[in-house]
Structure 1
Amino acid sequence: MKKIILLIVIATIVSCKNDAKPATQKEEIKKESFPDELAKVFEKHGGIATWRKAKTLSFNKGEEAHTSDLQSRKIVINSPKYSLGFDGKEIWLDQADSTAFKGNKDFYYNLYFYFYAMPFVLADDGIIYEKVDSISFDGTNYPGYKISFKANVGTSSDDNYKVYFNSETYQMEWLAYTVTFKAKEPNNEYHIIKYNKWENVDGLVLPNEITWYKMDKKGMPTKPQGPATVFTLPLVSEGKLGTSFFTKPNVQ
């Protein structure tokens, strides 16, 4: 039901936007600068230009509906037992039962947004790109790039990512990442995810299914850690949601 309401809200916004008079001021075009191979990865997944035009991203993970404003990175997660989100200033949690949400809201609120919005979040501002050695799985080598952040960029600027892609198609295949949440020093222990399935969502190729894998001593993926995480009800829109959509319920 919440997804249906969201679709109606966005459809209304887009309709009003289309009825508005054309702007007289020229739209500023952002100059992109990526390594050539990564640029091809972005293009394979729908292109940076398509990503930049999008304003709202939504998907379901189980009973959770995750909705994000792609420009401000405000987020809200709605489920039958709790809601949590980021309103631009504060990370909030709303639940009738204090035991309903068992995680850390500050860590969790944008966790799956980053996993789902791959590879495009690797085109954010303040990113440093570095070519890394390939990884191998089932006899296939996957070239990759390490993505790190300039100091004080985002909530965890010491986090690192490594994106690996198919050398022929340039489709993203793997993501390795570190977690430094509230840690005093950078963490060099990587986790790795296999991007199993993709789907076209209004011109953007976004993940439908991902699986965490175990790694050997050389950092190569070996076998799944558990069942796949499946994303459903994807939505990408150029419509922008109002501020109130991301605020804590019952807060004026």
Structure 2
Amino acid sequence: MKKIVLLIAISTVFFACKKEVKNKAENNITENKKAISKYPDALDAIFNAHGGIDNWQKMKTLSFGLNKEEHTTDLHSRKTVINSADYSLGFDGKDVWVSDTTAYKKDPKFYYNLYFYFYAMPYVLADDGIIYSETTSLEFEGKKYPGIKISYKSNVGSSSDDNYYMYYDAVTKKMSWLGYTVTYFSKTASDKIKLIRYNDWEKVNGFLLPKSLTWYQKDTKGNPTKPDGKPIEFLLPLLSEKSLGVSFYQKPAK
């Protein structure tokens, strides 16, 4: 009888120790994951809902059609080319160039990566030099969307005073809205926030990318009210692990 009691006692201690070791191991794994990830938990969940940031970082070339233009970007160097029937412009890794300044009248330094940033959301929010913080939720049609504020360290990019406000669906974790400020022209911080709705997604090589975007008007509290114009549509998207040659992003010879 004493042996049976002893065996039961030993077994109880053994399984208790085993459970404790397992719990410690699981806690260590969780802590290691948190230590490895440099993004807020909410942003990690959003990346996962859209295809995963680790998978995205394996991609090298992104292309899409917009307003009779074809936009192509190297995702690692951010070299860019925009081609149209009348002109082409791009960034070769050092300089922004335009093939025909008589046909293209806008500011190429402002425009060359403008729609790339809107289209490559939320993945561009994993760039270096970003500071993440909490922001007030957005409300639309009785539904609240939690948000993350994105600001930049000094001297990051051409407009480090820009701020982005990314709002997401609390259940699906998909990105739903983007608020942003523009400081490129004024070179000073701004509190005038423009707002885009992201609610039309399509699968592109395993990733959720926007099929269209719609700018929205806001009320006095900053919440969206109604569309501010027609949606813009992205056509013929391409996402690849292959890189294009250096010459592709260079200014064409006359």
TM-score category, normalised to shorter length: 0.7 to 0.9
- Larger RCO: 1 or 2 (CA < 8 Å, sep 6+): 1
Shift of 1:112: 0.1
Counterpart residue number, 1:11: none
Task: Tell me the TM-score normalized by structure 1.
Answer: 0.85
Counterpart residue number, 1:76: 81
Partners of 2:159 and 2:187 within 8 A in 1: no
Shift of 1:53: 0.1
Unmatched tracts of structure 1, length 5 or more: 1-30
Counterpart residue number, 1:177: 180
CA distance in 1, matches of 2:185, 2:104: 20
1:124 paired with 2:127, answer yes
Partners of 1:50 and 1:203 within 8 A in 2: no
The counterpart of 1:162, out of the listed 141, 152, 165, is 165
Partners of 2:146 and 2:168 within 8 A in 1: yes
Runs of 4+ residues deviating >6 angstroms: none
Shift of 1:50: 1.1
Specify which structure has the higher proportion of helix: 2
Report the AA paired with residue 34 of structure 1: Y
Counterpart residue number, 1:54: 59
Number of matched residues?
Answer: 219
In structure 2, the residue corresponding to 1:40 is in which secondary structure? helix
Counterpart residue number, 2:94: 89
In structure 2, the residue corresponding to 1:236 is in which secondary structure? strand
Superposition RMSD in Å: 1.1
In structure 1, the residue corresponding to 2:137 is in which secondary structure? strand
Counterpart residue number, 1:23: none
Shift of 1:201: 0.6
CA distance in 1, matches of 2:109, 2:84: 17
Report the AA paired with residue 79 of structure 1: S
1:200 paired with 2:203, answer yes
1:101 paired with 2:104, answer yes
CA distance in 1, matches of 2:213, 2:58: 25
Which structure has the bigger radius of gyration?
A: 2
Task: Tell me the TM-score normalized by structure 2.
Answer: 0.84
The counterpart of 1:143, out of the listed 124, 127, 146, is 146
In structure 2, the residue corresponding to 1:112 is in which secondary structure? helix
Unmatched tracts of structure 2, length 5 or more: 1-35
